[in-house]
Structure 1
Amino acid sequence: MTRLIRTSAQRDLRVDLARGVALLFIFIDHIPGNQLNEYTLRNLALCDATEAFVLLAGYAAGLSYGATADKHGWIFAAADVLRRTATLYVAHILVFVLVTAQVGYSAELLNPAYVEEMLLDPFVTEPYRALLEALLLRYQPNLLNILPLYVALLLMLAPALALRRHPLVLMALSIAGYVAVRITGLNLPNWIGGGWFLNPFAWQVLFFTGCVLGYAPPGGRPLAVPRIAPLQATITAGAMLVTLLGAAAMLAFWAVPDVAPGLPGRIARVLSSIDKTGLHPLRLLSILSLAWLVAWFVPFDAAWLRGRLVAPLILMGQQGLPVFCAGILLSFLGRVVLEQDDSALAQAATNLIGFAALAGVAMVNAWFGRAARSQRRPPAEAPADASPLLVPPPSPARESHS
């Protein structure tokens, strides 16, 4: 498995590992009744794996498309972003169809309530309208709202790439939009009522923060690094304080029910109002603090990042799209299994088999990708006795995480 991992002197495997962990947490959290989800990020911080996924997606986008824009120009990079957007859109529609079929069959065979719980009941009354609204991304059943958010964020990225070398301007516009959304509640419409569950006008601030952190001009360091270098110790102390207070609040408010009634009213109201739709400021501060601490305490060149123990998670992070799509389908299947048998053995088997399946999807996708790249390589670049499926020698160019 380690031979399928893409490595180079410039590639940050910490990002791949964090994304793999986020994808695994998303799979675990999407299974109701899964006892393992009591130990994922959402119960230990004021944020969850979705925030990590979006921040890392922004980092990868800034790294990849920023380099493309520097090499080929902004228009070419924007077109590449739109191409990727189309891929994500097609993936979302495919997963939508598969989940609808999966839930519909399970409802007919086991429990009719699945349809209503997954917000798929419009297909019973207005199937053609529901399909149209799904194609327009105005209809997003449960579990199917992350890829539409990613599509919307990439559409915003295409014009924003023109500001890649002006991070202060880009972040000023992004923060202004975020503040406006928090004040006005502006959101995209949702056919079944309200707005998008993950409001892209709010979540863009996290995505563009990742973009700014990931982008580095040719021959230079990320533009954000020199400005914050003198404050590293202060930022680290603040990040630790935010993380510890968040963990304490979550443990006190949710894990120990007897504590919540005794909290001061103002604190209880704040904790209960930390919404996910509009990316509450405390959620934003929490994920940024965690990201800073990981970057601070985990060395870029840590030897264990290239070990076998974390290889499955790193490979999952490098093959994010197919792993995410497979995780959505497997999570509902895991729910069905645990509703039939909630024993410790069933719990362990559901999580272990699910993890193995996600790692398997990542391996197969990486294997085919490596084979395709080796076939496109000119014969002069590879000796006749070279294996086309082994990791190629590191390239001097900075490698993309997308």
Structure 2
Amino acid sequence: MRSLIRGAQEASPKSGARRDLRVDFFRGIALFCIFIDHVPGNWLGLLTLRNIALCDATEAFVLLAGYAAGLAYGATLDRRGFTFTAASLLRRVGTLYVAHIFLLVVFTAQVGFSAAALDTTAYLDELHLDVFAEQPYQALLQALLLRFQPAFLDILPLYIVLLLLLIPASPLLRHPAVLLGLSGAGYLVVRLLDLNLPGWTGGGWFFNPLAWQLLFFAGCALGYVPRAAGRRGTPPAVPFHPLLAAAAGLVLVVGAAAMLIAYADADSFAGLPENVALVLADVDKTGLHPFRLVSILALAYLLGHLVPFDAGWVRSRVAAPFVLMGQHGLPVFCTGIFLSFLGRLALEQAEGWLMQLAVNLAGLAVLVGVGAIAAWYRLREQAPVQRPAADALPDVAPSSTTPVQ
């Protein structure tokens, strides 16, 4: 497994920069947490980020996706220019779109078959797939247009739009202050005017790309590495300062306290001042509430300084499965969505600790296996073709159709 990771590093684009395995590790953790959170009744979900902070794995995934995009497409921009970078981004968008449609078809068939086998409509109603029974052709068309997104299938459309926004914004990677200024201004306008992309079934997108772009572009700004003397170093980190670290820690402690109090007593906010209670009760995910934004940035700041770029444990056998998952996020994510519904079905049959253990261990094993297969295939695809030497070819006996030298 570690050899696959080393091979992936050697096979990465030659930008002169070493791959940041911290990003792969934490992205792998985020992908596993997304799988856990999508399995109702999963006890392990009590320990994921969404229950101990005012943010969750989705924020982590988007921030790390922006970081990786800034690192990769920023290098492409400097080496090959804007046109090639835009083409590369469009190619990636096409890959994500095909993956989303394939996942939509498989997930819909999986849920629909289960609902028919168990003679229930609860799954279809809960996952917003009931419209396929009522208006199948219209639902399919709207799904192709990304205006209809069933539950659990709204992260890839968000990612698609974010990469499309990066195309015109990519030249601003060289000017991070301008990029973040424009992105922040757009975020404020979207929040104040309640703007969103339209959805087919009413309302807007569950993950509003017009708001989430700020978190994505923050990651891009952190990941971009300017060329210096023809080479690239490590991405510049936000400088460490004790007061900034204390403020970040305070943000996380307050968020954790709020989540624990709400979990212990859902009516505990009733005794707070009305304005305070309304703010805490309305930390929306759709528009990326400022509390959620600040929380994930605070967590990233602390982890970025607690885990240095060359941390040895990130290259250890324990971290290797998550690094491998993070390096191949698309197939791992799609597989996790499929597995999460299977995990739900299993826990509905028996929710004891043995089944809980089986669901989570089996899910992790399959996701790591998908990452390993993807890594192996990528290495085989990028390996140089071994052509036989001329003197190693077998002699061919002359014939009436073989010219004699």
Give the Cα separation in 1 of the matches to 2:124 and 2:337: 16
* Contact 1:212-1:223 at 8 Å conserved across structures: no
Given candidates 358, 361, 378, the residue that maps to 1:352 is 361
Aligned to 2:46: 38
Cα-to-partner distance string for 1:343-363 (whole Å, 9 max, x where unaligned) = 111111111101111011101
Q: Distance in 2 between matches of 1:319 and 1:378?
A: 29
What corresponds to 1:121 in structure 2?
A: 130
Quick one: structure 1 residues 121 and 243, their matched pair in 2 at CA, closer, same or farther if it must change by over 3 Å? same
> CA–CA distance in 1 between the matches of 2:124 and 2:265?
33
Q: 1:377 to 1:159 in 2, by over 3 A?
A: farther
Deviations 1:231-256 (A, max 9, x none): 63332121111111111111112234
Change (3 A) 1:222 1:171: farther
Per-residue CA deviation, residues 127-152 of structure 1 (Å, 9 max, x unaligned), is 11100000000000000000000000
**For 2:305, what is the secondary structure of its paired residue?**
helix
Partner of 2:397 in structure 1?
none
Residue 223 of structure 1 and its aligned partner are, at CA, apart by: 8.1
Where does the alignment leave 5 or more consecutive residues of structure 1 unmatched?
Answer: 381-402
Corresponding position of 1:395: none
Q: Whole-Å Cα distance in 2 between the matches of residues 82 and 99 of structure 1?
A: 25
Contact 2:66–2:216 at 8 Å: present in 1 too? Answer: yes
Q: How far has the Cα of 1:298 moved from its partner?
A: 1.1
For residue 377 of structure 1, report the CA deviation from its aligned partner: 8.3
State the match for 1:148 in structure 2: 157
Deviations 1:20-71 (A, max 9, x none): 0000000000011111111100001100000000000000000000000100
Q: Distance in 2 between matches of 1:46 and 1:242?
A: 9
Letter matched to residue 2 of structure 2: T
2:215 matches 1:213: no
1:70 aligns with 2:72: no
SS at match of 1:164: helix
1:3 matched residue in structure 2: 3
Q: How far does the alpha carbon of each residue in 1:277-322 deviate from its partner, in whole angstroms, 9 at most, with x for none?
A: 0000000000000001101111221211111111101100001000
| 1:48 partnered with 2:50 | no
Q: Structure 2: where are the runs of 5+ without partners?
A: 11-16, 390-405
| Identical residues among aligned pairs (%) | 58
Residue 108 of structure 2 corresponds to: 100
Greater gyration radius: 2
Could you tell me whether the CA contact under 8 Å between 1:93 and 1:135 is conserved in 2?
yes
Q: Flag the 1:233–1:251 CA change in 2: closer, same or farther, 3 A.
A: same
Work out whether 1:240 is the aligned partner of 2:271: no
Counterpart AA for 1:7: Q
- C-alpha separation between the residues in 2 aligned to 1:363 and 1:147? 22
Partner SS, residue 383 of structure 2 = helix
What is residue 371 of structure 1 aligned with on the other side? 380
Give per-residue Cα distances to partners, 1:341-398, cap 9 Å, x unaligned.
1111111111110111101110111111111111458999xxxxxxxxxxxxxxxxxx
Distance in 2 separating the partners of 1:174 and 1:237: 26
Aligned pairs for 1:2-401 (under 5 A) are: 2-5=2-5, 6-7=8-9, 10-110=18-118, 111-219=120-228, 225=237, 228-229=238-239, 232-257=241-266, 259-375=268-384
Aligned to 2:400: none
Question: How far apart are residue 222 of structure 1 and its match?
Answer: 7.2
- State the secondary structure of the residue aligned to 1:175: helix
The answer to whether the Cα contact below 8 Å between 1:167 and 1:223 also exists between their aligned partners in 2 is no
Instruction: Report the CA distance shift for 1:254/1:265 in structure 2 as closer, same or farther (over 3 A).
Output: farther
Cα RMSD, aligned residues only: 1.8
Question: How many pairs align?
Answer: 377
TM-score, normalised relative to structure 2? 0.90
CA contact (8 A) 2:18 2:234 kept: no
